[in-house]
Chains A and B, each alone.
Chain A
Amino acid sequence: MSAITLKVNGQTHTLDLDPATPLLYALSDDLELRGPKFGCGLGQCGACAVIVKGQAIRSCITPVRSVAGADITTLEGLGTPEKPHPLQRAFIEEQAAQCGFCLNGVILTAKAFLDKNPKATEQEIQQALSNVLCRCFTSVRMLRAIQKAGQEMAR
């Protein structure tokens, strides 16, 4: 165990953890955040995504020591129910969810991608989401929401 400093959604936390602990457990257990989720624990599905240095990374396979001190953004950090991020607002407007368990990975992966590719085409967005799963298969609505938000974010 050792003291690890994590900067999450602009707040600094010092936690006493095994440095090998995957970041996901620090976020969802120690900090009780509800955005990042355990889907597979293997970096295959995206449910655990967080944004670090502009990249959507898989927190279930990222040791906390490798992100100590870095700015970490979770789904909570993007916006609130009262003041949602354009992507979150588009998902609500398009009713782009069923069970909603995958939304964390879908929205954060889209955010990191659109930030770098504001003029992305439909095909490019699909490509960017080709490593993220939704087993309710709400794909049609999700891709529509992402395109809609992308247009707003590019303005």
Chain B
Amino acid sequence: MKGLTPQARAALGRRDFLKGAGALIVTFSSTGLRTAEAQFGGPMPGAPPMNQLDSWIAVAADGSVTAYSGKEELGQGIATAQTQLVAEELSVPFNRVTLIYCDTALTPDQAYTAGSQSHPANFNRGNLAQAAASARETLVRLASERLNVPVDQLTAVDGTVRSKTDPSKSVTYAQLIGGKKFSVTVNANAKRKPASEWTILGKPIHRPDLPELATGRFEFVHNVRVPGMLHGKVVRPPAVGATVIRVDEDSVKNVPGLVKVVVKKNFVGVVAQKPYQAIQAATQLKVEWSRGSGLPSQADFYQHMRTLPSRDTLMVDSKDVDQKLAAASTVLKATYLHPYQMHGSMGSSCAVADIQGEKATIWSPTQGVWYQKTTCAMLLGLKPENIHVVFRRGSGCYGLNGADTVTYDAAILSQAVGKPVRVQLSRKDEMAWENYGNAYVIDEQAGLDSNGNIAVWSHESWSPTLGNRPGPGTPGNIITGYLAGFAPQPFAPRSPAPPPANYNNNANAVPSYVAGNVGGRSRGTGKIQSERVLVRNVESPFWTGPLRSPNRLQNTFAHESFLDEIASHVKADPVAFRLKHLSDPRLIDVVKEVAKAANWETRPSPQPVNKSARVVRGRGMACVLYEGDNGYSALVAEAEVNQETGKVTVRRLFVCNDVGPVSNPDGLRNQIEGGALQGISRALLEEVTWDDQKVTSIDWRTYRTLPVGFEVPKIEAVLLNRPEEEATGAGETSITVAAAALGNAIFDATGARLRQIPFTPERVKAALAARA
């Protein structure tokens, strides 16, 4: 998006989404991009028109404001920020605004809430922000007519328009339009309030949902109760690829409360009167399954990926990389490995569906209500216009967890019994069948010139994919749709890759330090001119999909670890060496600011290595411009390594973020803190495991995570507020740089380099033993 005018960016709202949430589609295949553009070309039929003010804002007879948004609260705090935005632009108090989001009967279709795109979509020159500014402009114009005062002599404050010179002349929003429609289009040129005049945006306003959450009153989707509601449970295959041979309904006929056993191709489920009865029936039901299709050995998986047919995409290629590497005075190479990881939501996913004949109402924690509407229609054989999908918050999802799949489960079961059905997955069903974050093998190579500067950088990665978000027409992209007979989006190998036509950072596959030259323009953030980034996708044995900082985290782990390795090789300070190769001033600023906050000591890594000390301490840094244009972040980690046990303890984290104008500084800090710690948990502990038939990481003993109480590091967040810039995403920034910064800190402390995530004590000990 860099280099576009604000208007062009606003017009590209859909593309923004594609680039963000849909980046997996882009990664998956470049023909996929074209297909997706056609599919996601505009709002769904029946959605409130995006260009109509009434689609976004309503003023009630009492002057209270209702705003409608297609970007939902998932726990990231965006509902609070959007409420602040509307209150600010409309000049009404925060608590007079009610935000309604993601209900297909009420709200505009803004595609998914994903990919850190809520701020870019709704806070810049379009959509919710522009609608609120248009509403204020319209109200001032109406007031001008009513009061017979020129517009430029009026001001709007707290829901009232008044004359700047004659206080007796005023009229409230309620008097002007209360209970009536605006019936105007959104004015793309309506003047936004400059940040210098903000009184609501930019303030650390508390989240309105906290009191209900903290006192057990909040309605999660898990708490939705519908009259006559029954309870469903699914029975998933015992192995990947296993299919139904026979279902013995007699095996559960003695279970009290059983309503029905439901089989639809390879989908099997039960419905009962009460939740515990449904669990008993699902446990007791005898299903004969075929053998699974078998899984590749986990021990050899990274090597195995390199041997599979691949779909290759070149992001940048200066065509002189091999020649420059051959001519370089030094060539460094390293390979980085990242496992499949899972969303591992705290609460297993849940949905409630009420399918009555041709009509359906569905309460879902999905990130894309409109695509539930169309794909549930395919699944159920109903017309999309007869399906009403209502978002209700689930447990934090961090991407494509079981939310969509459990919605299909509830829909299929409800249709089978003709009554409302609530389904909550078991822990195992959630963990064994979700769309995991991608595994990666990344080969990095760099050639240095005689001055120790990087002259050439080559990046080549292998990553497995299968399925994805369902989008408007691919229910087979997730397990329930697949079991019910739909195919995932096809995989089409392609090698060699065609030359890059347009610059695409492709989920930070392009390192920060290269120029990003495509089509005669430099769109990267670095100075290195000889550059090649080759991304190879292969077919995955498991379902995959976006997991917080999808692919961006894996790529950044490799790039930022490798940069550190090069700096160490030339005995340069890691911060100074980064700055030397960066060109983007805002990326340079976050690196400098975080170094300042951390009181960074300028010297090469590692520190003088003391192999006999039991515990040693080091510091490491990493930085990123998230997906090339969506939020700057730099992080310094200080960590201790126990050289006897291999245990790593993070002591302090410093993060500097630049996400443009800060909507809510406390909300941003919350995202930075949580993202950094989630990144540490993923770096130290998290890894999907499997045997020759099935996934074996199926609960919190077999898929490890940091708990609330561990040796929690101190976290200091520095916010670089840029009111004059466009708003970017923020929720996936700090997590992207955590693993690399931690690996670099371990190296600084010990001289041992960790190139495989997670950094388990065994791997740390092995790396310590391998030190020269």
B335 at the interface (CB under 8 A from A): no
Known: A98-B77, A141-B673. A88 touches B707 (CB 8 A): no
Closest to B398 in A: A135
Taking CB atoms, residues of chain A closer than 8 Å to B500 are none
Q: Shortest beta-carbon distance, A148 to chain B, in Å?
A: 13
Taking CB atoms, residues of chain A closer than 8 Å to B276 are 18, 20-22, 25
Segment at the interface with A among B342-350, B412-420, B567-575, B745-753? B342-350
The docked-state distance in angstroms from the alpha carbon of A138 to that of B678 is 9
B541 at the interface (CB under 8 A from A): no
In chain A between 7 and 58, which residues have their CB closer than 8 angstroms to a CB of chain B?
18, 20-22, 25, 28-29, 32-42, 44-45, 47
A59 at the interface (CB under 8 A from B): no
Taking CB atoms, residues of chain A closer than 8 Å to B709 are 125-132, 139, 143
Q: Which of A76, A136, A142 has the most CB of B within 10 A?
A: A136
Q: Shortest beta-carbon distance, B131 to chain A, in Å?
A: 27
Known: A76-B215, A129-B707, A143-B708. A101 touches B220 (CB 8 A): yes
Q: Shortest beta-carbon distance, A112 to chain B, in Å?
A: 14
Segment at the interface with A among B305-313, B635-643, B698-706? B698-706
B222's contact among A37, A84, A127, A131, by CB below 8 Å, is which? A37
A80 at the interface (CB under 8 A from B): yes
B214 touches A107 (CB 8 A): yes
Closest to B280 in A: A18
Known: A39-B348, A101-B395, A140-B673. A33 touches B216 (CB 8 A): yes
A79 touches B77 (CB 8 A): no
Closest to A1 in B: B256
The docked-state distance in angstroms from the alpha carbon of A34 to that of B216 is 5
In chain B between 188 and 228, which residues have their CB closer than 8 angstroms to a CB of chain A?
206-207, 209-220, 222-223, 225
The docked-state distance in angstroms from the alpha carbon of A80 to that of B274 is 29
A99 touches B77 (CB 8 A): no
A103 touches B214 (CB 8 A): yes
The docked-state distance in angstroms from the alpha carbon of A42 to that of B701 is 10
Taking CB atoms, residues of chain B closer than 8 Å to A128 are 709
The docked-state distance in angstroms from the alpha carbon of A76 to that of B215 is 5
A153 at the interface (CB under 8 A from B): no
B607 at the interface (CB under 8 A from A): no
Closest to A81 in B: B211
A76 touches B216 (CB 8 A): yes
B275 touches A136 (CB 8 A): no
Closest to A134 in B: B708
B216 touches A74 (CB 8 A): yes
Q: Could you show 15 A-B contacts with beta carbons less than 8 Å apart?
A: A25-B275, A39-B427, A40-B700, A41-B348, A97-B213, A101-B75, A102-B346, A130-B707, A130-B710, A134-B707, A135-B705, A137-B677, A137-B681, A139-B708, A143-B712
Q: Mark each residue of chain B from 69 to 85: 1 if its CB lies under 8 Å from any CB of chain A, else 0.
A: 00000111100000000
B43 at the interface (CB under 8 A from A): no
Interface size grouping (class) on chain B? 35 or more
The docked-state distance in angstroms from the alpha carbon of A141 to that of B671 is 11
Q: Shortest beta-carbon distance, B218 to chain A, in Å?
A: 6
A92 at the interface (CB under 8 A from B): yes
Q: Shortest beta-carbon distance, B439 to chain A, in Å?
A: 20
In chain B between 643 and 688, which residues have their CB closer than 8 angstroms to a CB of chain A?
666-667, 670-671, 673-678, 681
A133 touches B707 (CB 8 A): yes
Q: Shortest beta-carbon distance, B638 to chain A, in Å?
A: 15
The docked-state distance in angstroms from the alpha carbon of A80 to that of B700 is 31
The docked-state distance in angstroms from the alpha carbon of A23 to that of B275 is 12
The docked-state distance in angstroms from the alpha carbon of A132 to that of B212 is 21
A138 touches B673 (CB 8 A): yes
The docked-state distance in angstroms from the alpha carbon of A32 to that of B710 is 33
Taking CB atoms, residues of chain A closer than 8 Å to B708 are 102, 106, 129-130, 132-134, 139, 142-143
Known: A47-B346, A91-B214. A126 touches B220 (CB 8 A): no
The docked-state distance in angstroms from the alpha carbon of A40 to that of B76 is 22
Taking CB atoms, residues of chain B closer than 8 Å to A139 are 677, 706, 708-710, 712
A76's contact among B217, B220, B671, B710, by CB below 8 Å, is which? B217
A126's contact among B76, B231, B712, by CB below 8 Å, is which? B712
B395's contact among A84, A99, A130, A138, by CB below 8 Å, is which? A99
B74's contact among A32, A81, A91, A99, by CB below 8 Å, is which? A99
Known: A42-B700, A95-B207, A135-B396. A84 touches B674 (CB 8 A): no
Q: Shortest beta-carbon distance, A79 to chain B, in Å?
A: 6
B700 touches A97 (CB 8 A): no
- By the criterion of a CB under 8 Å from any partner CB, how many residues of chain A are at the interface? 63
The docked-state distance in angstroms from the alpha carbon of A42 to that of B430 is 13
B interface with A by C-beta (< 8 Å): 74-77, 206-207, 209-220, 222-223, 225, 231, 256, 274-277, 344-348, 393-396, 398, 424, 426-427, 666-667, 670-671, 673-678, 681, 699-701, 705-712, 714-715
Taking CB atoms, residues of chain A closer than 8 Å to B216 are 33-36, 74-76, 78, 104
A98 touches B396 (CB 8 A): yes
Q: Shortest beta-carbon distance, B666 to chain A, in Å?
A: 6
A37's contact among B76, B206, B220, B666, by CB below 8 Å, is which? B220
The docked-state distance in angstroms from the alpha carbon of A133 to that of B347 is 10
Given A40-B427, A133-B708: 13 more A-B contacts, CB < 8 Å: A39-B347, A41-B427, A75-B216, A88-B214, A100-B210, A101-B347, A128-B709, A130-B710, A134-B707, A135-B346, A137-B674, A139-B709, A139-B712
Closest to A122 in B: B712
B701 touches A44 (CB 8 A): yes
Q: Shortest beta-carbon distance, A132 to chain B, in Å?
A: 5
The docked-state distance in angstroms from the alpha carbon of A51 to that of B515 is 59
Known: A84-B214, A126-B711, A140-B677. A34 touches B346 (CB 8 A): no
Q: Which 5 A-B pairs have the closest CB atoms?
A: A99-B75, A129-B709, A35-B216, A75-B216, A99-B396
B670 touches A34 (CB 8 A): no
A126 touches B427 (CB 8 A): no
B396 touches A91 (CB 8 A): no
Known: A37-B220, A81-B217. A137 touches B348 (CB 8 A): no
Taking CB atoms, residues of chain A closer than 8 Å to B674 are 98, 136-138
Taking CB atoms, residues of chain A closer than 8 Å to B345 are 101, 135
The docked-state distance in angstroms from the alpha carbon of A103 to that of B346 is 11
The docked-state distance in angstroms from the alpha carbon of A103 to that of B215 is 9
A99 touches B346 (CB 8 A): yes
Q: Which of B206, B210, B222, B675 has the most CB of A within 10 A?
A: B210
A45 touches B700 (CB 8 A): yes
The docked-state distance in angstroms from the alpha carbon of A133 to that of B706 is 7
Known: A98-B396, A106-B708. A45 touches B346 (CB 8 A): yes
B346 touches A97 (CB 8 A): no
B210 touches A38 (CB 8 A): no
B217 touches A100 (CB 8 A): no
Taking CB atoms, residues of chain A closer than 8 Å to B214 are 75, 84, 88, 91-92, 97, 100, 103, 107
Known: A38-B347, A98-B674. A103 touches B213 (CB 8 A): yes
Taking CB atoms, residues of chain A closer than 8 Å to B219 are 34
The docked-state distance in angstroms from the alpha carbon of A33 to that of B681 is 32
Taking CB atoms, residues of chain A closer than 8 Å to B671 are 98
Closest to B225 in A: A32
The docked-state distance in angstroms from the alpha carbon of A97 to that of B210 is 7
